[in-house]
Amino acid sequence: MVRAKIWILKKHFEGFPKHSDFELKEVELPALKDGEVLLETVFLSLDPYMRPYSRIHLKEGDTMLGSQVAKVLESKCPTFPVGSFALARAGWTTHFISTSKELFPMLPNWPEKLPRSLALGAIGMPGLTAYFGLLEICQLKPGDTVLINAAAGAVGSVAGQIAKIKGCKVVGCAGSDKKVAFLKEIGYDEAFNYKTVGSLEEALKKASPDGYDCYFDNVGGEFSTVALGQMKKFGRIAVCGAISLYNDTVPQTGPYMQLMMILKELRMEGFVVQRWADRREEGLTALLKWVAEGKIKCQEHITQGFENMPAAFMGMLKGENTGKAVLKV
């Protein structure tokens, strides 16, 4: 018998998450049935979407949601033999039982030298989010000037590098000087710390006096109001995330955007990467190739120890990570 440690959502978050919203439990897992696999979580993903989605998909007492890279400990399913690795969406748990329907295999040609945690980052959901958001929603073209915020995060850092691969000028904003240095290292043409820059409007103007063709938005709220004012005519805005709004108890307000959208004929679209589930392999193959060639540099912010998962989650929401936040169990 295997005992799994799990993090429960004890209380729905009100405002910024607190330690007391979580509870660590242990449960005994049943014996395997035919077609089932017992897995051990190796890496847990930490992503901003967990904050709004917990409210939508969980009730109090449920295991916190999330995905992981896991190793097969025991198998009654030929697709996932013992010792193989898989991707799962089993939530915050050290061990779990699954069927092949709920698991994704790792890409078959995964290079030895690449950490498997990248399957949660640049060569995983965040990478695909950047890929489809830029190519499909922004309809990125060579020569476009692209604005990306939360640019040093899991999605933003990949998005900026894809935009460079595609022949664009890329401007990024992040919340610390260390992150800004990282952005310049990975090829952003212009980058600045929005917390210390003074006027965001002036900084955006300075970074691209002609304005922006595309805006890959991970932040929303006030930042977006200012950014919209700097879009070129027919600008395209991919609304990927809204981390500035996730912890609101009362919805934040700002100027209505319709008039600017008409005058500049802007297109703004919200999206969830799941939309291109049928093109997952295309996206991952492209991302793996770019990472293997060194065209996409990956940085990870790794927290050790399952017991630190709530702290790592809160740290990620505060922007403590540069690059992809993961937890090594």
Compute the least distance from the CB of residue 211 to a second copy, in Å: 15
Q: Of the two residues 51 and 324, which places its CB atom closer to a second copy in the complex? A: 51
In whole angstroms, give the CA distance from residue 2 to residue 28: 6
Q: Which of 26, 263, 277, 281 binds a second copy (CB under 8 A)?
A: 263
Contact of 252 with 195, CB cutoff 8 Å: no
260 forms part of the interface with a second copy (CB under 8 A):
yes
Compute the least distance from the CB of residue 274 to a second copy, in Å: 9
Q: Of the two residues 113 and 256, which places its CB atom closer to a second copy in the complex? A: 256
220 forms part of the interface with a second copy (CB under 8 A):
yes
Compute the least distance from the CB of residue 173 to a second copy, in Å: 16
* Contact region with a second copy (CB under 8 A), list: 87-95, 268-276, 292-300, 307-315: 268-276
242 forms part of the interface with a second copy (CB under 8 A):
yes
Q: Which of 59, 253, 277, 293 binds a second copy (CB under 8 A)?
A: 253
265 forms part of the interface with a second copy (CB under 8 A):
yes
Compute the least distance from the CB of residue 111 to a second copy, in Å: 33
239 forms part of the interface with a second copy (CB under 8 A):
yes
CB crowding 223-257: b at 16 or more within 10 Å, else e: bbbbbbbbbbeebbbbbbbbbbbbeeeeeeeeeee
List the one residue out of 266, 268, 169, 269 whose CA is nearest residue 210.
169
Residues with Cβ within 8 Å of residue 259, at least 6 apart in sequence: none
* Contact region with a second copy (CB under 8 A), list: 13-21, 38-46, 110-118, 256-264: 256-264
Compute the least distance from the CB of residue 66 to a second copy, in Å: 18
Torsions phi, psi of 246, nearest 5? -65, -30
213 forms part of the interface with a second copy (CB under 8 A):
no
Residues with Cβ within 8 Å of residue 321, at least 6 apart in sequence: 46, 153, 154, 301, 315
Contact of 72 with 42, CB cutoff 8 Å: no
Q: Which is it for strands 324-328 and 300-304: parallel, antiparallel or unpaired?
A: parallel
Q: Which amino acid is at 62?
A: D
Contact of 65 with 56, CB cutoff 8 Å: no
255 forms part of the interface with a second copy (CB under 8 A):
yes
Reduced to 3 states (helix: H, G, I; strand: E, B; else coil), residue 23 is strand
317 forms part of the interface with a second copy (CB under 8 A):
no
* Contact region with a second copy (CB under 8 A), list: 8-16, 235-243, 291-299, 318-326: 235-243
Site for a second copy in 51-90 (CB under 8 A): 52, 56
Residues with Cβ within 8 Å of residue 129, at least 6 apart in sequence: 155, 240, 273
240 forms part of the interface with a second copy (CB under 8 A):
yes
* 181-210 footprint of a second copy as x/- string (CB under 8 A): ------------------------------
262 forms part of the interface with a second copy (CB under 8 A):
yes
